[in-house]
Chains A and B, each alone.
Chain A
């Protein structure tokens, strides 16, 4: 890596005092539609942040505003304490990796990575030897050094993604932004690249924000996750926080909320049928509510208190798991069991006893 990475300790200490990205009531409208609607968000230095949400939730618009590709109608955006709400993209020193990579197809891999170094109005200007050194280092980092002379259309999707990343890192950005970085790749490559991106982030410590609609990706990769819905942030927290304590029904549902069942809240527990199910979140004090039961919070049980009975509709063995679709009073309940469970696999049509370990409950 180039000698400036990682930055010397003194530089880190100075930067720690201010947030890397500070967003206040940012709003962006397209026509009458507010794509981003008054978002506040602080992203710490060196943090790996995921913006998670369904399509149309405003996550990509928010990312593009941080990158200077869209500009906010209202609100402010600070990057390392500097006002950046309307700064032109070429002046804000961010790295942006596009979903479809946006590589310059008429340039070799080497020239793609060198692009940011050649156009930069830095003083003193980098010598050709320094550019070559830096690009070679970056290509080593992304394990593409042997392909420096290739053109983008001679590369696989995963290789293009790595070129795009190396190109974005070449200018030593203050913030690295990635739009659906693994969206167009197949599952195996995606998994490799995820691990590899986390390693690179750890090695460089550059503040990174990535957009995804894949909850597993967000939870696996990010230090913190912001969940967006209809242009607003529903919840921000560590992957464990947002998964274990979803702040709203939307978050719970989006993070694999599982089955949605009507319930009655009584004495700190959810009454479903005549089973009392422990509530994990701060639920309404009483009355009718909606309970979300995750598929792996359901276990088969023959006897004991708080058992519900349901008919098996479908049994699907998927790798190490056994997925069940159950019919409970006309509602479909999804359950995921370990396949090496001691119980014999239930058969379709059979009536089984269920125990619900816990529920997230929200006002209906």
Chain B
């Protein structure tokens, strides 16, 4: 068979045996348009009132830059912490049997269910200088509540389920024969983890990291209670947007929103490309 495929003589060669392509494509486009694209387009159009130079001026104010920097760095650290400990939790839930495992498994999802404001208030009272945990940290000179560190704690809390729930199924599918093969070839437990297990779960781990990161960047409810919200120090970008709105500076708020959107988009794109690279062996 050279050049064209045998089936190309049939005019309807692209028809899949799985039905519903047209229907699902239609639903997908319609749904994404009204739920995601139109609101985002409206957001992107709003700052055009300002013009390009106005937009640049709005997002390069020192207070805005400080808020953007704070939001993205705290979200990054929180997602990184979750990547490490979420992996450990997923590992434990998949690999070991212990009493109360089902309860632990359920607890992982609680940050999803809890209203974020409740989480924020609870964390604040725990980590305040006179709180249950804060009272022991305070003498050591570690201040958590009302500092960027507190923001990281809150973002870590709300991001935990993402890493656990993305890594868990991949770990469950991991064939123990792979580890046995590595052991027979002379690898220790550590070498087996680094060379055999980790590369296989890395794509899922990156997905979980990206989801936790995206969630943390946009988080508002839990953070505003614990952050202290001092301009230039512990004021996150979503809060700044709300402040702008309360001052009826809609275009300014939208400009900050667009800036967040752009940065988030670029970050997620990079993570997606890295993720694709990390599973180049899957042959897609």
Write the residues of chain A forming the contact surface with B, with a CB cutoff of 8 angstroms: 67-69, 88-90, 93-96, 98, 100, 102-108, 115-116, 118-121, 151-154, 167-168, 170-171
Contacts and interface: CB of A to CB of B under 8 A. Distances in A.
Interface centre among B185, B281, B282 (most CB of A within 10 A): B185
A115 B187 contact: yes
Contact of B283 (A69, A102, A119, A151): A151
Interface string B165-198: 0000000000101101111111110010001100
Contacts of B282: 105, 153
Contacts of B259: none
B80 to A, nearest CB: 23
Interface residues of B, number: 21
B200 A69 contact: no
Given A151-B281, A153-B283, A90 B183 contact: yes
B283 A154 contact: yes
B203 to A, nearest CB: 9
A69 B182 CA distance: 11
A90 B183 CA distance: 5
Contacts of B183: 68-69, 88-90
A105 B284 CA distance: 13
11 contacts: A68-B183, A93-B186, A102-B177, A102-B180, A104-B178, A104-B195, A105-B200, A105-B282, A119-B188, A151-B281, A154-B283
Given A153-B282, A153-B283, A167 B185 contact: yes
A96 B180 contact: yes
A281 B85 CA distance: 67
Given A104-B196, A106-B199, A115 B283 contact: no
Contacts of A88: 183
A90 B180 contact: no
Nearest to A94: B184
Nearest 3 interchain pairs by C-beta: A116-B185, A102-B177, A102-B181
B188 A69 contact: no
B184 A119 contact: no
Contacts of A67: 184
A211 to B, nearest CB: 14
A70 B180 CA distance: 10
Given A118-B195, A119-B187, 11 more contacts: A90-B186, A95-B185, A102-B177, A102-B181, A103-B181, A115-B185, A115-B187, A115-B195, A119-B191, A153-B282, A168-B185
B173 to A, nearest CB: 12
